Amino acid sequence: MWLKLGVLGVAFLAATACGVDDPADTREMGREQVTAALNDAVRLGFPGAQAVVADKGHNWTVAAGAGDLVTGEPFADDARVRIGSNTKTFVATVMLQLVAEGKVELDAPVERYLPGVVHGPGIDGNRITIRNLLQHTSGLPEYAAEFGAVPKPGQIGFMTEQVRWQTADMAAILRNALTAPADFEPGARWEYSNTNYAVAGMVIEEITGDSVGAEITHRIIEPLGLRDTYYPAPDEIDIRGPHPVGYTEIGGQRVDYTSQNVSAAGAAGAMVATGADLNRFFTALLDGKLIAPAQLAEMKSVRSIAENSAVAYGLGLMRIAMPCGTEVWGHTGGIPGSLTNVGVVPATGRAVTIALNQDFTDKERSPAGMNALSAAVCPAP
């Protein structure tokens, strides 16, 4: 099960760093609250947790628990983690760059770019737009259901032993998924579906003639110098560089799920990054360094995901109203062995990534990442 909105945090919205030379420096304000929140996550059952914070050019890291339960080693400061549905923000950014280049129209039907691909019971590619895909308003059924697990909010719930080691044929997966009926009429409501981004990835590949991973690499990763971020090769199963062990539960038992083929996650959730790189990416995006103002405005044009929800969803980008009243922009993500929550505070520029090395999804434990994000973006003296 990847983690959908990566919105694991959506439904429930809910040390080891450098010191501060100046006692009056507020760039590490909230360290105690963040540390407490990460320790709470460990008490709830997460093996380990990490917060990476960027504030006014200063980066600091806090870790709790274990990155490896066998050795007891904590998260490395530069730990790589599987970022799940935070991948979607990279994909949406590439799509909006293509819009700016005149190669894609947001309100054009997907049929224009993928003739004959998006069709099924109540599904018509002539009526589903690129905007619908990026904002989860298409009504397309969840393709993770093809693997016997329907994700809860915040999950990409496909990853079973059935596909853990297999290189996916995404075209075949989508053909099977689209034999299920549409969930609703395009635009009628908001409902998270990883299928939207699987299709969006195919659109990018059809337009550019290159893989979605290659487009993300040369359009985003390389220009920003994200040295510890990558889109895995189709047959790649291990994480490059330092990383925590990723755990999941199978049959009620905690198991090491670090190594896995994530090609079935694809454009919906395959990428790997560090917290520092995620902070840099989201900050650059919101600062207008990756897409033009018109496209950034489209990306930030949000739709509430549910009545009275603190979360609204744009085009691959979430706006979250934190309990303290602070507004953050980011995304959340998860995949077996990893949960990540990313948020940038426009008012201050503080950027935060929270990483947890197990994919709990129950109501008691799943808010832990969002609680830690809240502690970091709502710092108290």
Q: Give the pLDDT mean for 104-124.
A: 98
Residue-level pLDDT at 366: 85
- The model's confidence at residue 308, banded by pLDDT at 50, 70 and 90, is confident
Share of the chain above pLDDT 70, in %: 89
> Can you tell me whether residue 27 is helix, strand or coil?
coil
Nearest-angstrom CA–CA distance, 299 and 131: 10
Only one residue has tokens 């993300």, namely 216
Torsion angle of the four alpha carbons 356, 361, 364, 365, in this order, in degrees rounded to the nearest 10: -10
372 by Cβ neighbours in 10 Å (0-12 / 13-18 / 19+) ranks as: buried
What is the domain-level CATH number for residue 112?
3.40.710.10
Torsion angle of the four alpha carbons 52, 214, 198, 284, in this order, in degrees rounded to the nearest 10: 40
- The model's confidence at residue 7, banded by pLDDT at 50, 70 and 90, is very low
Spatial CB neighbours of 344, under 8 Å, sequence gap ≥ 6: 279, 282, 283, 286, 328, 329, 330, 350, 351, 352
Is the distance from CB of 354 to CB of 373 less than 8 angstroms?
yes
Spatial CB neighbours of 294, under 8 Å, sequence gap ≥ 6: 100
Q: Give the pLDDT mean for 216-239.
A: 98
Is the distance from CB of 198 to CB of 266 less than 8 angstroms?
yes
Give the tens place of pLDDT for each residue, 147-170.
Answer: 555 444 444 555 566 678 889 999
Distances (CA, A) of 104 to 119, 130, 152, 198, 202: 20, 8, 31, 17, 13
- The model's confidence at residue 25, banded by pLDDT at 50, 70 and 90, is confident
Residue-level pLDDT at 9: 45
β-partners of residue 356 are 49, 339
Q: Give the pLDDT mean for 255-273.
A: 96
Residue-level pLDDT at 179: 94
What angle separates helix 87-100 from helix 275-286, to the nearest 10 degrees?
30
Element (H, E) at 340: strand 338-344
- The model's confidence at residue 145, banded by pLDDT at 50, 70 and 90, is low
Nearest-angstrom CA–CA distance, 368 and 39: 10
Residue-level pLDDT at 24: 47
Active site residues: 85
β-partners of residue 278 are none
Domain that holds residue 313: 2-377
Residue-level pLDDT at 19: 39
Residue-level pLDDT at 149: 52
Give the tens place of pLDDT for each residue, 90-100.
Answer: 999 999 999 99
- The model's confidence at residue 15, banded by pLDDT at 50, 70 and 90, is very low
Give the tens place of pLDDT for each residue, 276-298.
Answer: 999 999 999 999 999 999 999 99
Q: Give the pLDDT mean for 196-222.
A: 98
Mean predicted lDDT score pLDDT of the chain? 90
Residue-level pLDDT at 26: 82
- The model's confidence at residue 357, banded by pLDDT at 50, 70 and 90, is very high
Residue-level pLDDT at 251: 82
Element (H, E) at 92: helix 87-100
Q: Does the pLDDT at position 189 exceed 60?
A: yes
How many structural domains comprise the chain? 1
Nearest-angstrom CA–CA distance, 185 and 138: 7
Between residues 236 and 307, which one has the greater pLDDT?
Answer: 236
**Number of other residues whose CB lies within 10 A of the CB of residue 116:** 7
Using DSSP bridges, classify how beta strands 48-55 and 58-65 pair: parallel, antiparallel or unpaired.
antiparallel
Residue-level pLDDT at 379: 81
Q: Which of 272, 370, 345 minimizes the C-alpha distance to 55?
A: 345
